[in-house]
Amino acid sequence: MTTKRILGLLIVCALGGLVGCGDDDTGTGTDSGMSGTDSSMPGDDGSTPGEDSSTPGDDGSTPTTADVRLTCTGTAPTATGECVTMAPTPPAAAGCPALSARTEVMVSADITADTTWSCDNLYILTAPIYVSAVLTVQPGTVVEGSAGANALVVTTSGRLEAEGTATDPIVFTSNNAENNRAPGDWGGVVLLGTAPINVPGGTNNIEGLDPGESRGQYGGTDASHDCGTLKYVRIEWAGFLFGEDNELNGLTIGGCGSDTVLDFVQVHGGLDDGIEFFGGTANLTHAVITSVGDDNLDTDQGYSGKVQFLIAQQDGRGDRTIEADNLEDNENVTPRSTPQIWNATFVGASGAEQQAFRLRRGTAASINNAIVTGFGMQQCARIDGTASVEQAISGDLEITSTMMMECKDMEWVRFTADEGDTTAPDDALQTAWCEANYFGVDPMLPADATNLDAPDFMPPAGSP
């Protein structure tokens, strides 16, 4: 069994190494062409089941809804530059005992006083655990969640200080036997803070928990609220489903502020999203999100943080590598969601009905210096709904310096207004988007970039 570790994942030019994800929990250029409205293409799905994916005008009539698809025909330049992977010197190992030699500690009570968990023990969550004090988790510690909605929930009055090392990461995983673990085995990790969110009243109860549970509340006015530290942490086999649109993710982050540290984080095998930000200003760096059931990264409710050095890999179950919303019930409410994503690699499952990006419901966004490949059944990016198309027109939603390869019918980006609305990017904006990116350029990722067990994202010498 291959030991999974996040080893020196410092990615430059959005590329880096990744250790395979098994089932053990050892803790030890410029393209100047562009296309306009195309009513001959069948309507993309890109939707969740039950949504109407038809596109007005596909019968040859004049469309009453703006639907612009960029194919950006032409010759793209050869991208230049050097990609370098640097690995920090690993700190000394923590000297943790073998997993079989650790003392099992059943955790059934909430944490109301400052507590430290060490790698001498194996901690098993037998209930949803609410943390209202400081929980410190030492390097190499393994925490297992038993079956059901047994999540570790850090409330607005608590803090999680989980700082592992490259050689001794902290692992949150399933309590099921190795080789018998599956997505949704347990609830996952939830961090809640008092940073701004854009729901009415400024506070909300996090989805996936009992709506009547006051300790599940998040949101406020403290943009710097510190939810703690997750560093060299792996979360796997999580994401409990309570009901439709009410589920826990691998890592759920509600209203956490800019003092929160999320660095060298891996989420694998989640039932729903890998990581979802509900508002707040927390930043995420050096993240690997693989084999999730819905979206690798999801942002909404006014999230305005930054994400840098990200790898998102889909298997056949997933939906999108990024889904970004503002607010479903009020698409133009402020503070508007404005995620910034830099230096990222997005790999689809090729034969699956997936999109790389779906940016909708009024979100703004900035995605830069990325690689997108393996989404041959859909457009790579869909700007969905009038409110988000307007953000693109204003320049507050952009994709730049990004290589896109293997998108459906070479439709790199699709702008779709609300039904009956004709809002659309003009020719100048379409040309600008084409010229700002490298469409049809092969990033030359290794074949193992789609390998689910031992992926490799490092391109060979001479790649763009």
Q: What is the mean pLDDT of residues 158-172?
A: 98
Residue matched to tokens 């689809």? 348
CA torsion angle 236 177 247 345 (round to 10): 20
CB atoms within 10 A of CB 377: 19
DSSP letter for 201, please. Answer: T
The more confident residue out of 20 and 352 is 352
Q: 50: which residues sit within 8 A by CB, 6+ positions away? A: none
Question: Helix, strand or coil for residue 313?
Answer: strand
Q: What is the mean pLDDT of residues 35-51?
A: 34
Lowest mean pLDDT among 72-86, 357-371, 450-464: 72-86
Whether the pLDDT of residue 117 is over 80: the answer is: yes
Identify the pLDDT of residue 92.
55
CA 137 to centroid of chain Cα atoms: 24
Tell me the pTM.
0.86
Whether the pLDDT of residue 78 is over 50: the answer is: no
Binned at pLDDT 50, 70 and 90, residue 131 comes out as very high
- CA 194 vs CA 135, 212, 217, 330, 423: distances in Å: 18, 18, 9, 21, 36
Whether the pLDDT of residue 128 is over 90: the answer is: yes
Whether the pLDDT of residue 249 is over 70: the answer is: yes
d(CA 418, CA 434): 23
Do residues 171 and 142 touch, judged by C-beta distance below 8 A?
yes
The more confident residue out of 275 and 316 is 275
- Domain parsing of the chain, residue ranges: 99-293
Give the torsion sign (CA, 122, 126, 128, 130). Answer: negative
Range with the largest mean pLDDT of 141-150, 197-206, 242-251: 197-206
Identify the pLDDT of residue 154.
99
Whether the pLDDT of residue 110 is over 90: the answer is: yes
Please choose, from the candidates 314, 372, 370, 374, the residue with its C-alpha nearest in 3D space to the C-alpha of residue 339.
Answer: 370
Do residues 320 and 293 touch, judged by C-beta distance below 8 A?
no
| pLDDT tens by residue, 424-450 | 999 999 999 999 999 988 999 999 999
Q: How large is the C-alpha radius of gyration of the chain?
A: 22
| pLDDT tens by residue, 258-274 | 999 999 999 999 999 99
Question: Helix, strand or coil for residue 427?
Answer: helix
Whether the pLDDT of residue 306 is over 80: the answer is: yes
d(CA 178, CA 404): 37
Summary mean pLDDT of the chain: 85
Range with the largest mean pLDDT of 48-52, 406-410, 442-446: 442-446
Whether the pLDDT of residue 156 is over 90: the answer is: yes
List the end-to-end C-alpha distance of the chain, in Å, as a whole number.
35
| pLDDT tens by residue, 198-236 | 999 999 999 999 888 999 999 999 999 999 999 999 999
Residue matched to tokens 């190795």? 178
Q: What is the mean pLDDT of residues 48-62?
A: 38
